[in-house]
Structure 1
């Protein structure tokens, strides 16, 4: 027998709850994906930079990439001088890292409370050291929506900060390349290397040609 104190839930309510949970989950995962893409793009740029870039690994797993970027931007890392602000943004976002597996791989079961707000239970099965680990996480609508917004804003700050870092490093790379080209050109003009000068008789077709003639009566 139905409890008279508990309101009945019709199909429209269930469909709305399912749609809301899927939208919430999708928005959170989109935030993770955006952050991961930005981290990967940053690592790729760092790896292309002369000298310091040789210390940057481009690894397969997302967690490894976050750790590699954090190490590169830390004090003592190859990009520690430029990376203080970006490092803080990476560290802040990584506080949500444990949620990624649950949101991406958890099997969800949805319920509605008496106020009509959704509650979702997510179960994840993983393996560690050939042992099964089962995790269960419960999200209530109000808490879950606030958490999703926090993840979105933290990811947004991370992407913006890393974009600024990449712009600075690209500018530095461009300036350094221009400076090296100018220095190289200046050296060639002031002290041309023997390899760039054709001397008299160095080529059969040029044996009777002088590159410089200072005698008007020659």
Structure 2
């Protein structure tokens, strides 16, 4: 059962609202007063938990990066097939896209990581470190997933694992701007499907090709 707003601690509610505002407007596009209005509380309630805006941005960025890599680890370190992992990665991005683009054909920003990368000069060193750590952990996770596909006989033994992992990693890193440029999610879906097909056409073992 989902907790009601009254059951969620105020600090968590602040971070939820701040995440939405940061994704939509960036760190310069929101104020504590706006968060207070959204939560129907006073600015004092916000300052009780966060003295300065940069502290809130840092906290939100670190937690968002941790949650995101946690999701990708669940996908890429599992025993699913490589095609399933690519599909699940696409679906995870689609879920986040639809949260802020429910009609499926709009180009609103939807990734805090993409937004904070654009504002790296404005955020704290700890927030920048979280972004860098996310990039490193994403690469580690996807490379491990591709290597597992080789070990399971889905891909040929001579598959260049890191080279095969690269386009998957870059799609994850560029997912938000791809959908914003296209104005819909379909383009990113097509890219995931194309990469899956190309990988298996080039290195797939018999019986492990994705469905047409």
Common fold by TM > 0.5:
no
Higher RCO (CA-CA < 8 Å; seq separation 6+): 2
- Which structure's CA Rg is the greater one? 1
Q: Which has the higher strand share?
A: 1
TM bucket, shorter chain: under 0.3
Higher-helix-fraction structure: 2
